[in-house]
Structure 1
């Protein structure tokens, strides 16, 4: 990669230097003109004052006062011009700032102030969502009901709409085109976002690897008022307890090798920390998007076993491409082109003729 990267680095440097050289000539001309005019006016002022003093039209004290006043006013004028230029320079970016705010507001759903409680049932009624700038909906008229105590697996090819469905379930985005997402009887479009997210535990594909202490990575900086028992319990559930106990400062170990005294984790261990983070929240809606892609088979099995053991307290949704994990789900939903193609138990879908789950399972077995 070195020659290729060096080529692009040289290209960008040449472009920057070229623009600087192109602007240097006008800059020097303007600076020379300004300095010449400044010198000319200064010489003229001194000559005028000298003439007035020599002809007796002005006293020496008055001339000295005039010199001090001119120097003071010159400095003030110089500051005024300099700060005016700075203000003009920053003003050039105001349009970009307001354009960014407008774009942000256009993609941010308008929420209400209804307080959402932990749901026992999540219902989607013709839920659709179209990404900004696109004509075709990412998720199109999806209707389903998820109940507490269920482990639901979402499967499908890339671009099938799984991540969009997850965002709707978690209240990160709001359904459009008249569709609704209900937590029990509360429409998420009218609910206060913070009250919704308080009951959600989410493990995204790109989880945070915060350069903080181990306990902060699991608790997200929440106070340790409940002690460390809950933290250790979450770590043990995902198989990270022994790893954290072996660290130099246990839960107080900084998880960042780039910082002096820190310790780095492997990719699979970071995924376990992310899962422990979600379990520590004890959410009513637990969503995991490819949570074990970097784990070894033993760690993967342990995480899914824990999901089943604590499923009665929450609605658990798992997005996965590994069909072996789908066996552990109570209900499987296969998405295709933004719509639900099929749903049922794993055994039912594998046995069905023309089933997408059956096709994916057969491909996985042939590897």
Structure 2
């Protein structure tokens, strides 16, 4: 998206460089990615970067509303509420489509947001390997707010491990080695020194949790949570014996599971910004728009694009039995903004925030990108294309 840098990158690219890049990632993490990684990063021009930051800060302002917990009290399904919720999430991720205005200017449009961590460790590995194997100008950065590789990982250690010993903090997931994000678990273990633990391996004694570390029963003081709790609820009966995480346990959550639901597409109707598509809770929709083809219908409590109706009809709306659990959102038109040797591509940019305990506001730290040439943007939809997949951004400041 920075034309001169894009042209130079495409001209200098070779398949051998790309393979060396992938080999470097595998060497750094000890595992081969379970998803496709794109041949290119995204080069974000200063004007678009400024709009992305502005959009994020306008969203953060909503999160700072004194009544935020009140307006999101129905965001958490009653069966998924977990005790000991804290005052704010430790992680926030905000996803934007890259679009164009009528006059051709690049603009972000909000797609999704979550109070949940993302590929925090792996994204640094990917960005570093891009810089190692390709000619990425030193004037561009994958970090924000003055961070570099060293200070970024120190921030993650402070956030995730805090005052505890690394062995007392675990990354918790369901069947972690079956997850597509497992490369991030390996990167986290390597760079932070904590262990990835499957839910079924937890040991409970009273309100205390333990796990076996090299055969030694070790207390769990903090959980770096990577479990999505509606997934847990759906899989619960097939997991065999496991700790019930919905009870009051003597453990700290980084970040608490309730924030996944509070900060989600549920809050889109509360955000008023030129970078946020107009959205309504379906049960509060004043009138069905005449141009319904320009809207998308999304279930509130489904994630990863499941259940979304892209081509909405009045009959679809009439069939909804629980309109309070759906939002109607103005459709976003992705721009074919990335020029690749095999045709134009669209992209989403994820802005990654960390919110330390005691801080007045969360801080923007890193990013993630997804590049696609199809109708769907997720990395799982790009298996047959090239110059698509998971990626990262380098911003012009």
TM tier, shorter chain? under 0.3
Greater share of strand residues, 1 or 2? 2
State the TM-score, normalized to the length of structure 2.
0.24
Q: Larger Cα Rg: Structure 1 or Structure 2?
A: 1
**1 or 2 for the larger relative contact order (CA 8 Å, sep ≥6)?**
2
